[in-house]
A and B are shown apart, each in its own frame.
Chain A
């Protein structure tokens, strides 16, 4: 009998979940790859379909036909479209994103991207961390004190938060915490490799500016989901077994609220990255966002194309990661 009990699979053990999760990961990677492939094609052909000539944009309106022809030959712009795309795709998979046409003329865009990527990833992750922490505190406080003053204050903060676009939030923070109290720098970037503390200090305002509106959205979601899970029978049951309230909240209510919460976090990555572009500009952070804006003003099509694709890759990676965490938290997800 004890043998029988011993061989029973434990549904909640983590090791049992890896099998189906690995399969699910494979599926998600495959579909992510397809989206990436379609995405690169869409970006490439949209850029080709647009009015405006990259050669003219790089050389100026006064360029002679000979110079334009030479430029087109140099950058392979005279080949048939499909061949251009396939060559670009082949290069992309080898880490070659073409040469910059205007921002840093002739420089490999892949190198540019690698230079700028760490700043964006660092500030983006810092912002995501702040948003998650802020929203966990705010959302949980609101849900646990539903209808009380704490709830009203927390929900009001959240509504004001979603009414503050990140670029406007940036200046409120600069005005208050930088110019006013002198706590944080209003401009500049320190690489985390040079000094982690210095980097966190310099990136705090931009990260908070990006995080604040996101935290508001996350907190509203968490509050709603948590209120729902707190009213579930298993929470009442756990409480009636005499389990302490904080334990029940942490292990039953919050844990089950995590899947819908994380799903919203994953969806919001699209907006976080938009915030990154503007906020990088305001705080002078040398990231992909700044690079893309430079590319936009210089009409550097290879840089624009590369940045768009890089942002697409970031969205796909984050979404797959979020799906994996959800699948580990709730294996039922992987059955689909």
Chain B
């Protein structure tokens, strides 16, 4: 409760939370409020500039860009959120296992993580997409795999910090199973840095997903995604800049909210670590 109150006083974090909530609401209920579906074509209004009827304009098929951006945003955010969730859960698990058992478990797991970490993130995601296909599940898996080592390292390092604490030793002496200790003693105590990293990771996941879809190796049409809409928009960028601009701004607003929220959370968990990436 006290940490929640402290967060309420953090202006950066609150502004971020507000933006994130607005974005979440917009992509969740927005599409239902708009009179046009994302696939509805209006051949009388092809590449129409922003107006009251179409606040974000229309694209080359006369489709309402706002409606597409909201639905694409829903697709992109869902994929990114799922990917980070998978990476955070699996990464924490690997990190706690490594940090708790040490020895060869640690050696093997961390070398695998180091190897994953050595590849440029976008290159690795791109390779996996080409090899395993463009389904949403594969995009989630590819992004999750890219962020796995980051979560694993943080979980391992924080586990190392607390593994010799009296309350952990006590549980060990009480004869509790290691898996129970990891789940009920260690996990709750390392969740704060994991949460902060998850917020930073979410922003990067959105960029990664949008980048993949932008070059055509992510979400495939006709399913709208933010990167996909931007990619459509670049083809008639000089004639109708709003398609690209509006979808780009949508990405920036979402990222801004998540980044500010992440900064706020980081201040909260460790003011000394402020802005250290």
Contact = CB atoms under 8 A, between A and B. Distances in A.
Contact of B118 (A171, A278, A299, A312): A312
Contacts of B118: 35, 39, 312, 315-316
A46 B131 contact: yes
B121 A43 contact: no
Nearest to B128: A46
Interface in A148-200: 159-160, 162-168, 171-172, 174-175, 179
Contact of B274 (A224, A275, A307): A224
Interface stretch (A22-30, A72-80, A108-116, A264-272): A264-272
B132 A297 contact: no
Interface string B47-76: 000000000000000000000000000000
Chain A binding site: helix, strand, loop or mixed by DSSP? helix
How many chain B residues sit at the interface, stated as a range, is 35 or more
Contacts of A271: 120-122, 204
A118 to B, nearest CB: 19
Contacts of B216: 297
B123 A163 contact: no
Nearest to A34: B111
Among B215, B263, B275, chain A packs the most CB atoms within 10 A around the CB of: B275
Contact of A168 (B124, B203, B230, B274): B230
A83 to B, nearest CB: 21
Among B131, B208, B244, chain A packs the most CB atoms within 10 A around the CB of: B131
B259 interface: yes
A162 B36 CA distance: 33
A277 B127 contact: no
Contacts of B251: 165, 168
Contacts of B255: 162-165
Q: Top 7 A-B pairs ranked by shortest CB distance?
A: A274-B122, A50-B131, A163-B255, A224-B275, A273-B120, A168-B248, A163-B256
Interface of B: 111, 114-115, 117-124, 126-133, 203-204, 207-208, 210-211, 214-217, 227, 230, 234, 237-238, 241, 244-245, 248, 251-252, 255-256, 259-260, 263, 274-277
